[in-house]
Amino acid sequence: MPLDDLFDHMKYGQLYMDGRLDGVDLAGRELQGFPVLRTAFLDAALSGATLKSMVFVECDFSRCSFVDSKLHTCQFINCAFVGADLQGALIERSTLLQCNAEKSSLSRANVFMTSMAKTSLAGAGLADVSIEKSSIMECDLSRIDLSRAKLRNVVMIGADLRTATIDGLDCDGFMLMEADLSNRDLRSLKLPRANLMKTSLAGSNLAGMDLAGSVFMEANLQRADLSGAKAPMALFAGADLSGASLRNGELSLANFEGANLQAADFGGAKLDMAGLNSARAAGARFDGADLSMARFGYSDLKGAVFSGARFNMTDLHCATMDGALSAGASGSTLPTDQARAIAELYDPKRVGAQSEGR
């Protein structure tokens, strides 16, 4: 019997290979501690099964039922899970490498300390899934359903989420790097303390969202709507916010150093103690904004609008203000400090090299 042979291999920890176990009933059974190579489990029943310290290479689990199963410290390499049902499964400390899990279902599953790399989850259903302390790297997530998914301390790299369903996605400590969420309405998401470094959010709607402490370093936020967003202490350094709206945003202590803010709208925003040094902000609007103790050192503010803005020790050191409008603005600013400007022009490496060449 095929199953007897499988369990004999488990008993002695031997490699099981080239098996045909289509449709077998392993529901509630336990497989532990042996490798399986090039074996088909098509339409097999593994509901409630426990797989522990297993290694599966080039195995086919298409259309299998893993409902409420437990997968602990398992490795799946070049395996297929097409159409597999993993609803309510517990997947912990496991690895899926170069697998095909298209149209599979992981709704209500719990994924903990698990790595998925170069795996296709196209069309998969992950509604209400809980993923914690895990990584999803260079996976195909087209048409994936992440509705109401709960992600905690998850790293996702290189994901194209333009066609994903993400309504109610709840993230905390989420790192989404080099991903694409352009032209999406993201207002139903929760993204406090998220890291979206180098992610494209061009044209996306983040209006009114809680983005406190989030990282958008070198992200593409062209024409994005962040009006009314709550983003104190958020990091936008090097980001492209050209044409974006941050009107009435809460941006205290936010960092926009070196960002492209051309034609961006900060009207009515709270930018107290924000860092905008070396920003390219030509034509940007700051009308009615709170700029108390904000820093614009070396920023390009040509043609910017500060009408009705509230200054208080706002640092404009070496800022370019040609054509800027400030009618109705109030408060105090710190102009260019000439001695400081001269000192900042001094490059000890350059001077040292010149001295050595004499």
Question: DSSP E strands: which ranges in 294-336?
Answer: 310-315, 330-334
Non-local CB neighbours of 260 within 8 Å, separated by 6+ positions = 239, 240, 241, 242, 279, 280
pLDDT in tens, 78-114: 999 999 999 999 999 999 999 999 999 999 999 999 9
Q: Could you tell me the sign of the dihedral formed by the alpha carbons of 29, 127, 104, 59, in that order?
A: negative
pLDDT at 172: 87
Percent of the chain with pLDDT over 70: 96
pLDDT band of 353, cuts 50, 70, 90: very low
Token pair recorded at residue 268: 């009515």
Q: Does the pLDDT at position 291 exceed 50?
A: yes
pLDDT in tens, 220-274: 999 999 999 999 999 999 999 999 999 999 999 999 999 999 999 999 999 999 9
Q: Does the pLDDT at position 65 exceed 80?
A: yes
Cβ atoms of residues 219 and 200 within 8 Å: yes
Helix, strand, coil percentages in the chain from 3-state DSSP, rounded to 5: 10, 30, 60
Q: Does the pLDDT at position 322 exceed 90?
A: yes
pLDDT at 248: 98
What is the DSSP pairing of strand 55-57 with strand 70-72?
A: unpaired
Q: Does the pLDDT at position 1 exceed 90?
A: no
pLDDT at 173: 86
Between the alpha carbon of residue 43 and those of residues 81, 186, 189, the distances in Å are 10, 37, 36
Non-local CB neighbours of 71 within 8 Å, separated by 6+ positions = 51, 89, 90, 91, 92, 94
Higher pLDDT, 349 or 58: 58
Which residue type is seen at 67? V
Please give the mean pLDDT across all residues of the chain.
93
| Torsion angles phi and psi, residue 194, rounded to 5 | -80, 150
Buried-state track 243-274, b at ≥16 Cβ within 10 A, e below 16: bbbbbbbbbbbbbbbbbbbbbbbbbbbbbbbb
Structural domains in the chain, CATH included, are 221-358 (2.160.20.80)
Element (H, E) at 8: helix 2-12
The rounded distance, in Å, linking the Cα atoms of 54 and 197 is: 35
pLDDT at 356: 53
| Torsion angles phi and psi, residue 180, rounded to 5 | -125, 110
Within 10 angstroms of residue 133's Cβ, the number of other Cβ atoms is 15
Q: Does the pLDDT at position 41 exceed 90?
A: yes
The rounded distance, in Å, linking the Cα atoms of 299 and 282 is: 9
Q: Does the pLDDT at position 305 exceed 70?
A: yes
Element (H, E) at 164: none
Cβ atoms of residues 298 and 318 within 8 Å: yes
pLDDT in tens, 127-182: 999 999 999 999 999 999 999 999 999 999 999 999 999 999 998 888 998 899 99
Rg (CA), the chain: 27
DSSP summary character for residue 190: B
